[in-house]
Structure 1
Amino acid sequence: MLRAFLDKLYDCCGYIAAVFMIGIAIAILAQILSRMRGITLDATEAAGLCLAASTFFGLAHTFRRGSHVRIDLIVGRLPQAVRHKVEIFNCLLGSVVVSFLGWHVAGLSIQSYQFNDVSPGLLAMPFWIPQTGVAAGIIVFAVALIDELVWLLRGGAPRYQAPDEVGLDRPVA
């Protein structure tokens, strides 16, 4: 039951990231179309806020799908027993760092809300709105890392590795 919930949470974050990517496209298109009509519209800040939300909401989803960039030059050459311990250490370290980051970004969002801090641009959006999206994305990513850490500690193989369907030594089929 928890597994199904977490998988749905990661997928939901992926969909939210996609919606914010569409928001970037809409903001840019609105700016282009308004300039073509001689109207000044500054949508750069809105596109930037959508970019931040899209980036951080997409972290957990892409991690679970094996889409994060991994440099496997050293870990891939280790014996299986050592490799498993290194993967556990990596997930533990990542969990601690990302949880620490999530805690502080959430605190920053709360502080921005308390002080009614707004962006300096033409949009003048309250900062807590995009900061909350960033914090939520980071926290779900921390949950995904902890989820994977527990899986590895129980003896499972890393689920975040993408299958090598296309290697450097094989042509694309």
Structure 2
Amino acid sequence: MIRGVLEKFYEACGYLAAAFLVGIGLAIVTQIVGRMRGVTLDATEAAGLCLAASTFFGLAHTFRRGAHVRINLIVDRLPKRWRRGVELFNCLLGAVVVSFLAWHVASLALQSREFNDVSPGLLAMPFWIPQAGVAVGVTALAIAFIDELFWLIGGGEHRYETPDEVELDRPVA
């Protein structure tokens, strides 16, 4: 049951990342149209918010899909019994580092909200809004690392796919 919830959560993060990419495009188009009509609009901060949210919401989704850059130069040449240990160590290290980052980014967002920090631009957006998107995205990546770590500890093979292998499995049309 929890597996299905986690997979839906990772998928939702991917859709949110895509929606924020569309938001970047809309912010830019709005600014262009405004300038063409003689209205000065500053969409830089809105586009920046969308960029931060899109980047960090996409992390967990791309990790689960095997789309993160992974250098297998050394791991692929290790004996099979060592390879598992290296995979475990990598997931443990990733879980610790990303969890540490998630904790501090969430703390920063809470502090920004507490002190009413706002951006210095025309929009004067509260800083906690984009920081909250970053915090949720990094937390989702931490959850994905911890999820994978427990899977490996339980004896499973790593579940993140290599996109090249997935591509090869498709039938030729």
3-state SS of the aligned residue for 1:96?
Answer: helix
The structural deviation recorded for 1:164 is 2.8
Matched, 1:108 2:122: no
Residue 87 of structure 1 corresponds to 87
Kindly provide the amino acid, as one letter, of the partner of residue 129 in structure 1: I
Superposition deviation, residue 102 in structure 1: 0.3
Matched, 1:73 2:78: no
- Please give the secondary structure, in 2, of the residue aligned with 1:124: coil
What letter is aligned with 2:108?
Answer: L
**Structure 1 runs of 4+ off > 6 angstroms?**
none
1:58, distance to aligned residue in structure 2 (A): 0.5
> In the TM superposition, what whole-angstrom CA distance separates every residue of 1:133-164 from its partner, at most 9, and x where no partner exists?
10001011100000000111112111113243
User: Residue 42 of structure 1 aligns with which residue?
Assistant: 42
Contact 2:67 2:163 in 1 (8 A): no
Distance 1:44 1:163, change over 3 A: closer
Bigger helix fraction = 2
Give the aligned length: 169
The CA distance in 2 between the partners of 1:30 and 1:72, in whole Å, is 43
CA-based RMSD: 1.5
1:18 maps onto 2:18 in alignment = yes
TM-score of the two chains, using structure 2 as the length reference: 0.93
Aligned residue type for 2:61: H
> Which runs of 5 or more structure 2 residues have no equivalent in the other structure?
none
- Residue 123 (structure 1) aligned with residue 117 (structure 2): no
SS in 2 for 1:60: helix
In 2: Cα distance, 1:163 partner to 1:125 partner: 38
**Percent same amino acid among aligned pairs?**
70
